[in-house]
Amino acid sequence: MSTATGTPGAGEWAVRADGIGKRYRRGWALRECSFRLPAGRICGLVGPNGAGKSTLLGLMSRQLQPTEGELRLFGTPVDDPAVMPRFAFLGQDKPLFKRFTVAETLRMGGELNPGWDMAAAERIVRSGGVPLDARVGTLSGGQRTRVGFALAFGKRPDLLLLDEPMADLDPLARDEMGTLLMAEAVERGTTVLMSSHQLTEVEDMCDFLLVLSGGRVRLAGSADELLPAHTLVTGLAPDGTPPPELAAHTVVEVRTEGRQFQALIRASGPLPDAWSVDRPSLEEVLLAHLRSPDAPALYVPDARTAEGITTP
């Protein structure tokens, strides 16, 4: 609920992280992560291998405990058992009992989860033509993923945490599961946080983005705001080096090829007329940030916690 002042109430943030960090024996996997994710969004969690995505999802799904900082789901601290019914987690390996039939698996879901929606779970399984009497061990990877989705959605979570759940699917099954995921999430207003290395999938499905690199947040915000903040500029680099005028802007990435440069920037003022200016695609913005892990971070206001995060 919004308050009278229009400030969102605590429950409107599906996730709120204040300075969270996670240290393993080898070192920090996540450090000083502060962001918030508004409820009802489909958020892509993007970052190179080892960026900390699984660790972050592990903290949110209570499989790991933060070393520092505070994490809240819908305003409730994540270590409070009251958050348990509010989220469901689905990872790459689906922990299903191979000897159970699909029907038995869904029944077990019902026994473990008080608000279980058997009709929704069966609909997801049936729409993929997965026989209810088949043993889970005999299903294909794609069919098992569908059963995993049925278990996750049957729980009727407010927050669905997905750690590359579609990585083992063929393009057709991926597309089907993506459509199913969006339809179910939109119908119920479920917040989804989904890690993926497939940038086109992120571009197609997600309206909010969280980009991690080296255990830190690099981009956080709605695609609608992050995208227009970036500009792709191209121009001449006569001596093979980027022009000094770039220094007036926040440069995410600059590349030169022969006597030309191309840069993804966040413009701080007018650009030289000699440069050609384009709007980048979301994939171009994401790729540039993945290639330039040290580029200055950007949080749009909705994603910013009250703590002073400085953004260029």
Torsions phi, psi for 77 (to 5 deg): -55, 140
For strands 87-90 and 159-163, give the pairing. parallel
Q: Which two tokens stand for residue 155?
A: 């729980």
Q: Which stretch binds ligand ATP (CB under 6 A): 47-55, 71-79, 234-242, 272-280?
A: 47-55
Nearer to ligand ATP, 42 or 290 (CB): 290
Answer yes or no whether residue 97 interacts with ligand ATP by CB under 6 A: no
CA distance 219 to 211: 5
Answer yes or no whether residue 286 interacts with ligand ATP by CB under 6 A: no
CA distance 78 to 8: 20
On whether the CB atoms of residues 193 and 160 are closer than 8 A, the answer is yes
Single-letter amino acid, residue 291: R
Answer yes or no whether residue 51 interacts with ligand ATP by CB under 6 A: yes
For the bound state, the minimum distance from the C-beta of residue 179 to ligand ATP, rounded and expressed in Å, comes to 24
Q: Which stretch binds ligand ATP (CB under 6 A): 43-51, 72-80, 121-129, 151-159?
A: 43-51
Answer yes or no whether residue 66 interacts with ligand ATP by CB under 6 A: no
Answer yes or no whether residue 289 interacts with ligand ATP by CB under 6 A: no
For the bound state, the minimum distance from the C-beta of residue 56 to ligand ATP, rounded and expressed in Å, comes to 7
Answer yes or no whether residue 61 interacts with ligand ATP by CB under 6 A: no
For the bound state, the minimum distance from the C-beta of residue 165 to ligand ATP, rounded and expressed in Å, comes to 13
Q: How many CB atoms lie within 10 A of CB 245?
A: 13
Report the residue from 14, 29, 125, 217 that binds ligand ATP according to the rule CB under 6 A.
29
- The count of residues interacting with ligand ATP (CB under 6 A) is 12
On whether the CB atoms of residues 283 and 203 are closer than 8 A, the answer is yes
């086109």: which residue's tokens? 200
- Straight-line distance from the first to the last Cα atom of the chain, in angstroms, rounded to the nearest whole number: 31
User: Where do contacts with ligand ATP occur on this chain (CB under 6 A)?
Assistant: 24-26, 29, 47, 49-55
